[in-house]
Structure 1
Amino acid sequence: MSKADLGTLKPWLGRTDTKDDILTPGLIERFRATLGTHLSDRADAAPLGIHWCLALEAVPSDALAVDGHTKKGAFLPPVPLPSRMWAGGDVTHVAPLTVGETVTRHSVVEDIAAKQGRSGELVFVTVRHEYSCRGRVCISERQDIVYKDVTPPRTAPAHAAPDETEPNTLKSVVTPDPTLLFRYSALTFNAHRIHYDHVYTTRTEAYPGLVVHGPLQATLLLNIAAEALGHTPGRFSFRGAAPVTLPCRLHLHCRDDGSEGAVWCQDQTGLRSFIANYAGK
């Protein structure tokens, strides 16, 4: 986008949104049923990553765009690029969420920036979320959303093989299937069609199969990091490196250096799809 085009999006800078929700035992039960043994027992209270299932945007079906996302121009700016993805972010855990308490999510659009990537023009929208209970911030998160043209996804080099570079870091293997993607979409009230509509995903957005959610991969890695530390990470920074699609096997790796470390998802071809760093404090 030109600077002039970016100027039309400036009114969205500083735009805010506030929503309330209750962290119910029912939500926790559904979250645990979906992710099972991949959740850590090291969390202070609520399962780690469940904040991505709270205070969600709930709009009528006729307010959804063709891709299943909310139509542009409400809270998020109307970026004139067709594909939207969760690029990464940073989570700071300040205090545990409390089961049965009201959770308030306050969000603000912090930045809008255009860049040129290998796949063409990109626009990054940065959103700050704060999750609070009883007036106290429990989780602070920076979320980076990228808008881009529809392009074929990057694949692993032909010579790549899983786990050859750091074989001692492998902690777990997950084999996502359409049921897991559907249940996670339901938990997060995410109607983006790339996670459940195979025809749309392959014909319109040019992916070879259904796409595994970024927040799902982040949740898996966040729980691996908690196991390595023995408690909830104070800081968890992550980014999407490449889309991963079904059928696949996700190899979850952790390189722990005591009070900090790195975790990542790697598929059966050796392609790293999601990468994160964590620290205890």
Structure 2
Amino acid sequence: MTQTHSQSQILNDVMDPARATALQAALGLNVSVEAGSPLPPFFHHIYFWDPQPPENLGRDGHPTLGGFVPDMGLPRRMWAAGRVLFHGPLLAGVKAEKTSVIESVTRKDGRSGPLAFVRIRHDIRQRGTGVLSEWQDLVYRSEGGPKPERPVARTDETHAKTVSFNNTLLFRYSALSMNGHRIHYDRPYAKRVEKYEDLVVHGPLLAQHLMLMGARQLGKPLTEVSYRATAPLTLPHDATLCWNDGTAWVRGPNGEQCMEAVMR
């Protein structure tokens, strides 16, 4: 069953260059962003904070459902997929406005029990012009249930790079993106409550790595990216970023596919 929602939210940000350079440093990149510079692809995820007071947070550290995102009685939240259209450069140090609209809420019954899929559209404007559109798919599910099967990743990459993750990087990315989800920094919570093997690497952080690699491989600014999370990556494991002709994926330590993306 799919429901259409018209609820919207508008956030503004001055796109502080210091925040972008902090992410570049955290990722081991050359610090290059200054006022007026185009931001690297997907860096908008560290902007447009909407911090909430403690009483508005759920047990998982996320804002309590029932505000912008409706409460469907399903406590566990995961980032499932996304699509980004880059209409033009998003500039550091220039005021920007992001309008977010819940396009749909879809309920299904899966192997692990009831599921709800929420699709949110975000549009970012700078200087009166639309520079980025994004569709974000979130999935909510009940407690317990069997773990989803992990798909096997391809091995036909023409370019590959190994990346490492640790507590410090997860903390820094959580802080820069104002992501309070405890699975990324609270090991006892991640293991005992949400039943992960260890701390979970952020889905957007994996997507960030893939887009940076894709831009380098294509040799030009990205215009469109679609990505889908397929299995969680947890500490202390490394991952392999893979590329082949416009398709990118993250291969986990046991050959599983953690994320896939198509970009141009």
TM superposition score normalised by structure 1: 0.87
Counterpart of 1:32 (choices 24, 45, 66) is 24
Correspondences of 1:233-248 after superposition (within 5 Å) = 233-248=222-237
Which ranges of structure 2 fall in alignment gaps of 5 or more residues? none
Q: Matches of 2:140 and 2:50 in 1, distance apart?
A: 19
The alignment status of 1:150 with 2:150, answered yes or no, reads no
Q: Does the 8 Å CA contact 1:38/1:220 hold for their aligned counterparts? A: no
Q: Does the 8 Å CA contact 1:126/1:142 hold for their aligned counterparts? A: yes
Q: Matches of 1:174 and 1:154 in 2, distance apart?
A: 24
3-state SS of 1:265 partner: strand
Aligned to 1:17: 9
Shift of 1:65: 0.4
* Compared CA separation, residues 235 and 202, structure 1 to 2 (3 A): same
Q: Does the 8 Å CA contact 1:156/1:270 hold for their aligned counterparts? A: no
Q: Matches of 2:16 and 2:248 in 1, distance apart?
A: 29
Aligned to 1:67: 60
Q: Matches of 1:232 and 1:249 in 2, distance apart?
A: 27
Q: Matches of 2:18 and 2:49 in 1, distance apart?
A: 16
Counterpart of 1:201 (choices 162, 171, 190) is 190
3-state SS of 2:81 partner: strand
Q: Does the 8 Å CA contact 1:156/1:269 hold for their aligned counterparts? A: no
3-state SS of 1:36 partner: coil
- Kindly tell me the number of residue pairs found equivalent between the two proteins: 260
Q: Matches of 1:115 and 1:255 in 2, distance apart?
A: 34
Q: Does the 8 Å CA contact 1:153/1:242 hold for their aligned counterparts? A: no
Q: Does the 8 Å CA contact 1:212/1:245 hold for their aligned counterparts? A: yes
Q: Matches of 1:247 and 1:206 in 2, distance apart?
A: 16
Query: 1:147-168, CA deviations, whole angstroms, 9 ceiling, x for partnerless residues?
Result: 01234644658xx7x87x32x4
Percent of pairs with identical residues = 38
Query: 1:12-36, CA deviations, whole angstroms, 9 ceiling, x for partnerless residues?
Result: 8110000000111211210111112
Correspondences of 1:52-91 after superposition (within 5 Å) = 52-91=45-84
Counterpart of 1:94 (choices 87, 90, 98) is 87
Q: Does the 8 Å CA contact 1:38/1:223 hold for their aligned counterparts? A: no
Q: Matches of 2:231 and 2:111 in 1, distance apart?
A: 12
Runs of 4+ in structure 1 displaced over 3 angstroms?
Answer: 37-41, 150-157
Q: Matches of 1:179 and 1:97 in 2, distance apart?
A: 28
Correspondences of 1:215-254 after superposition (within 5 Å) = 215-254=204-243
Shift of 1:122: 1.2
Q: Does the 8 Å CA contact 1:46/1:98 hold for their aligned counterparts? A: yes
Shift of 1:232: 1.6
Instruction: Kindly provide the amino acid, as one letter, of the partner of residue 191 in structure 1.
Output: G
Q: Matches of 1:188 and 1:90 in 2, distance apart?
A: 18
Q: Does the 8 Å CA contact 1:155/1:271 hold for their aligned counterparts? A: no
Shift of 1:38: 9.2
Query: 1:83-126, CA deviations, whole angstroms, 9 ceiling, x for partnerless residues?
Result: 00111110000011112101111000000001233333211000
Q: Matches of 2:62 and 2:252 in 1, distance apart?
A: 27
3-state SS of 2:234 partner: coil
* Compared CA separation, residues 269 and 154, structure 1 to 2 (3 A): farther
- CA RMSD of superposed structures (Å): 2.2
3-state SS of 1:239 partner: strand
Instruction: Kindly provide the amino acid, as one letter, of the partner of residue 260 in structure 2.
Output: I
